[in-house]
Amino acid sequence: MNTAQRPTPPNRSRSRNRRSRSPKYATGSTAVFDNLWRSVSEQLPYYRSYPRLVGETGGKDFVLAHASADVDALSTALLRGAFEYQGQKCSAASRAYVPASLWPHVKARLLDDLSALKMGDVRDLSNFIGAVIDKRAYERVNGYIDTARRSGEASIIAGGQCDARKGYFVSPTVIEVLDPRFVTMQEEIFGPVLSVYVYRDEEWPEILKLVDQTSPYGLTGAVFATDRAAITEASAALKFAAGNFYVNDKPTGAVVGQQPFGGARRSGTNDKAGSILNLLRWVSPRAFKETHVPATDYRYPYMKD
């Protein structure tokens, strides 16, 4: 916050104590940013000017495939986008929408690649995936997998194994859901779990609305299609669903300084880190006027008889 504070009010210490007892949240989560925003707003009378808050929180990032999509490119993007860094990226692909005409081929390719994927110590560069960050993350991800396993609206078609004997390992997991609003399609998991909803090809217009409305987040998203009209249609329909929108590529891997990053809705303030937009967020503009021939009479010409 680029603001100077006024002298500390008498009850400031009590406010600090009250905040210190607030729930502990995961760093970078929407809950953390909400808590920061509330804490700052409680102190507004003691700031010289209104604070400016910039934050990027989480996402429920999508991959949407059109019937014209390239199967191999789509399958590769799903695997890389969902399972690189164990899916512990705010931009990780977490929900996918695949047309029925492509799903058998995409599923076969995806399962084949996953069967060859190695998991283990990150010091062995032949391993594609490692352990999740800690026990808390492990238990949270395992909980979502158990929910899918017990549900009649979802089936685990790959992975689903969790092992905490030596490190917190969760195998890359693909869940096929019957309900497009199943919990794993809506909530941020932050782990190696990809949920897939298979739709009828003719449902494309409805699917565009579904993708936009399913999640409160708006960070990243990707559309796969070789039909340019479909790409244009998806770009327009999903303009608020992803601050970083990808065409025929996985929704991760923005390079700082080359691709400004950020999303809106519950994903943050979308101030695009790495761009001039973020810099302008922090400056305070001042308009300057100097009059070289100032008025010396209050009367305007039109006031004369």
pLDDT digits 0-9 by tens, 36-49: 999 999 999 999 99
Per-residue pLDDT at 28 exceeds 80: no
For the chain, domain boundaries: 1-53, 61-247
User: pLDDT, tens digit, for every residue of 195-225?
Assistant: 999 999 999 999 999 999 999 999 999 999 9
Coil vs helix vs strand at 151? coil
Given the residues 56, 84, 176, 188, select the one marked as catalytic: 56
Q: Is 56 a catalytic residue?
A: yes
Active site residue 139: no
- So what's the pLDDT on residue 1? 39
Write the pLDDT tens digit of every residue in 150-191. 999 999 999 999 999 999 999 999 999 999 999 999 999 999
**Phi and psi torsions of 301, nearest 5°:** -55, -35
Length of the chain: 305
Of 51, 68, 70, nearest to 5 by C-alpha is 51
Amino acid at 21: R
* 83 neighbors 172 (Cβ within 8 angstroms): yes
Nearest in space to 69 (alpha carbons), one of 199, 237, 167, 260: 199
CATH superfamily entry for domain 61-247: Aldehyde Dehydrogenase; Chain A, domain 2 (3.40.309.10)
Q: Single out the catalytic residue among 84, 90, 162, 188.
A: 90
pLDDT number for residue 180: 97
Question: Which range among 66-75, 76-85, 227-236, 277-286 shows the weakest confidence by mean pLDDT?
Answer: 277-286
Which tokens go with 17?
């104590």
pTM of the full predicted structure? 0.86
pLDDT score for 255: 84
Q: How confident is the model at residue 258 (pLDDT cuts 50, 70, 90)?
A: confident
Nearest alpha carbon to residue 230 among 95, 118, 58, 66: 66
